[in-house]
Structure 1
């Protein structure tokens, strides 16, 4: 089954009751295997891909990002709606907030970042609009229709993990213009752009970053806030999957071609 739309996230985002005839598939790629679930939602084929693998067993720096994105493209996916658990750099951006991010700062260190290597032509990908503006507008419109408060726009700082950041790092990110901090957006968004897929991400603020309040951050705190709020992202995504597209076309499909060397 070919599917144009996909959701990337944790198991809490995936609701099997909403997908008809859903089946799990293992997709073999040149970068390893990717496991996903394919089904139908109101007649629309949809792919769900658990970013951290089954049972959430992969740390952020261990995720097979290239296999995941390659598999989605092989299935015919052109639109990706992703989730991300993040910390807030600002006191006025409260835990539980949903942020439709539009830019990123990359502080990863050891992850494969591109498909363009091993003899492939040198390619410089345009990242002016890394998180597809067309999909971001669709998400914002859906949020308005669902009366779901969201923050439209924000800079996602992606760190290597799996450790949390130091207060000094958070102060640096703040001064550089960062709004939220997570560990998974890069290289995911970059690889999607390289493959010509539209990619948007809704970041859920699960905590304040270290040093903001003086409290000690725990992983359980992150899990608790995510569990209490993930249904809002799920409702937003499924509403957006069927929403009409009134926005102008985007440049995602040609981003990896316009700057070929």
Structure 2
């Protein structure tokens, strides 16, 4: 997919994140999507090694659905574990602690990003929508 993420929203999100988070930030890479009902197995992690920079469960189908309606889309993805078999075992308490300790910061980044975005925008996201049999419905 060409320009999967809105360049304006992505830039604003990155700038806001850099202002509030002093950890390592990746601004580009290959994102492999897996089914969200479970964590990847060591075999799946091994298969994806060398083909993806990050593996997650929350980029698709959202990015496709946003494109279908001509909406801007960008995402903020925190690494919470390094994949099965990559580092020492982890517990659900470890993930719980990461989620709940970082939730206030993540929430603030999202709120501040939304405040900075223009309601009209000058991106081309709405024009990148693919032709559909429902185009008469969307163009009203």
Bin the TM-score by the shorter chain.
Answer: 0.7 to 0.9
Unaligned segments of structure 2, at least 5 residues: 134-140
**Following TM superposition, by how much is the alpha carbon of 1:154 offset from its aligned partner in structure 2, in angstroms?**
3.0
Which structure dedicates a bigger proportion of its chain to helix? 2
Structure 1 counterpart of 2:65, from 191, 199, 209: 191
Matched, 1:160 2:29: no
**Following TM superposition, by how much is the alpha carbon of 1:153 offset from its aligned partner in structure 2, in angstroms?**
2.0
Unaligned segments of structure 1, at least 5 residues: 1-126
Q: In the alignment, is the contact (CA less than 8 A) between 1:206 and 1:222 conserved in 2?
A: yes
RMSD of aligned alpha carbons: 2.2
Structure 2 counterpart of 1:218, from 79, 91, 100: 91
Runs of 4+ in 1 over 3 A off after TM superposition: 217-220
**Following TM superposition, by how much is the alpha carbon of 1:260 offset from its aligned partner in structure 2, in angstroms?**
6.3
Which structure dedicates a bigger proportion of its chain to strand? 1
Matched, 1:234 2:94: no
TM-score, structure 2 normalization: 0.78
C-alpha distance 158-147 of structure 1, shift in aligned 2 (>3 A) = same
C-alpha distance 242-228 of structure 1, shift in aligned 2 (>3 A) = same
Matched, 1:251 2:121: no
Task: Select the structure with the greater relative contact order (CA < 8 A; seq sep ≥ 6).
Answer: 2
1:26-175 correspondence to structure 2 within 5 Å: 127-144=1-18, 146-149=19-22, 150-175=25-50
Structure 2 CA distance, aligned partners of 1:227 and 1:134? 29
TM-score, structure 1 normalization: 0.45
